[in-house]
Amino acid sequence: MRKFEFKTLMSLVNGIYKNVSANEIKKLSEEIEKIFPKNKKNKSKNLWNEEDFFLITYADSIIKKNNKNFNMLLNFLNNFCKEFNFVHILPFFPSSSDDGFAIIDYKKIDTENGDWSDFKKISDKFKVMTDLVINHCSSSNILFYNFLEKNDPGSDYFIHSKKKNIGISKVVRPRTSDLLKPIKLKGEKGFVWCTFSHDQIDFNFKNPKVLIFFLKIIKFYLDNGVKAIRLDAVAFLWKEIGTNCINLPETHNIIRLIRLLVENYSPNSLIITETNVPNDQNLSYFGNNNEAHCIYNFSLAPLLIHAIISGSSFYLKKWSRSMPPAQQGNAYLNFLSSHDGIGMRPLEGIIPKSELNRFFKVLKQSGAFLSFRASKKKKNVYEVNTTLLDAFSQTFEGKDNLKLKRFLLSHEILFTMEGIPAVYIQNLIGSSNDFNKYHKTKSFRSVNRKNWEYNELLKKLKSRTSINKKIYEALTRLVTLRKKQPAFHPNATQFTLQLEDCFFGIWRQSIDRSQSIFCISNLTRKKKIFYLHDVNLISTDRWFDILNKKKIKNINDKIFLSPYQSIWITNKKY
């Protein structure tokens, strides 16, 4: 952890506002320093280990009539999610659209969810991650109303142009709607910048007041018990006409500033960046161990899903071998799907277009929707919208009855990878595509955002025959087993094994080198023979397959792997 020094703060502020005078930089830095008083007790901490797991959920993923959503969520967490210590509660503030990501008020909690006292009941038992929707706010936010009327605060908080032709042809964005929204500013026609939708108005971070506004919001969240802050859509933060307006240096400097302030004020809290961009760009958000503590490992999900559906680990292995290990103080956040579906931009430059088209075709045949983004007058697939369970309905070889095995296999691999695992609540309870919700909202993303009625879900989780119960129990068992293995520490050594493409395998070794685990999976729907001499099992150690509860009697033996079966072979049982 970097020592908090005023000159370091000034240097970061100067890196953001390069054209501001030295005197103004000093005043701005002094104002920021007052927001985050120094924590005299702060010490360097080990922020994570193999026992850490994230659960991703909306406040209203589980609901019950006449009950606050936070209370029902806490009830479910206490009864069914004790193995998870981090809970990412997706935006729970008053919002006008995008399931919470068009925020009307950053400091209030939507009344249906509860209030800050209800939030505290959750944060007292779990480490809560909340979203800082930092790129934009709702068009119904008081700041935007003030902007339209030229009142403060907000009169200069947004990007405004009197004309539409302002040199935006290079701008990269995840939507196909018009970037500029027509408005009337005190009766005068003009345009504002909208990266995502016309209900989500982008902030102008060239105005230092906007930065100050969000730093105060961060402090407010930390003071209310938040332990991790997810910087939503942060890659788009800084705009510069004539550029692609993504991943710009000023954006990285703002993240460095946030990291410095947070780790000195609240040293046990995490900054996590959400940047659904190609892999090399995503990795840049680690900085030099001075930006995000954790980055979403966006490439893993589509690559792993592709490997299982295609029955080949070729592209997954190629990517895995090229991934740099995270430094101490950094970690990957690994997940398979989320509220936003399965992002496809991270596959750019990794999987050829013809192979991608085949992949998309199979997913569509399984009931998935494809969402697009604009790029040089062409439409490219931005994300696939489906539940993870339904994504595995069929493979390149067609339909079969092995969907559940593929679904569980994906988690058996996910939980072995370097980084901190995160499980979306719809995956934990085995949700299928919610087409009823989609027909109501007309939003593709709704298929994977089911609002479960609490008693209905309870019946499913108690029924011996329900797929929901089978999935919940299988995943909970996996989580429990993984948490006991030091070799699965988020920063433990990882090496991708040189195996046939029908297999995917990695070797993990604990930081103290006492435990090794060889994790091998059969990616096909055919029985395969795996020869143990293909991995280096030390002859003086005793080896166990802890996933299937079997002893390895002969390190030169062969193992028959059933369709979509995994083995976790370790020299130490815990």
Q: Which residues are catalytic?
A: 232
What amino acid is encoded at 343 in this protein? G
- Closest to 495 (Cα-Cα) out of 317, 346, 304, 295: 317
Q: Are 392 and 363 contacting, i.e. CB atoms less than 8 angstroms apart?
A: no
Residues in CB range of 92: below 8 A, 6 or more apart: 58, 59, 69, 70, 100, 109, 110, 113, 119, 130
- Which residues are registered as beta bridge partners of 200? 138
d(CA 6, CA 326): 28
Cα distances (Å, whole numbers) of residue 400 to 386, 502, 527: 19, 18, 15
The upper half-sphere exposure of residue 471, i.e. CA atoms within 13 Å in the direction of its Cβ, equals: 26
CA angle, 97 as apex, 70 and 376 as ends, to 5°? 130
Residues making up the chain, counted from first to last? 574
Handedness of CA 149, 155, 156, 159 (dihedral sign): negative
Q: Are 276 and 298 contacting, i.e. CB atoms less than 8 angstroms apart?
A: yes
Cα distances (Å, whole numbers) of residue 481 to 37, 84, 486, 511, 547: 41, 13, 11, 18, 8
Please give the full DSSP string across 482-509, using - where no structure is assigned: HHT-GGGSTTSEEEE----TTEEEEEEE
Q: Residue 280 CA to chain centroid, in angstroms?
A: 16
d(CA 157, CA 396): 50
The tokens describing 350, both together, are: 């990794």
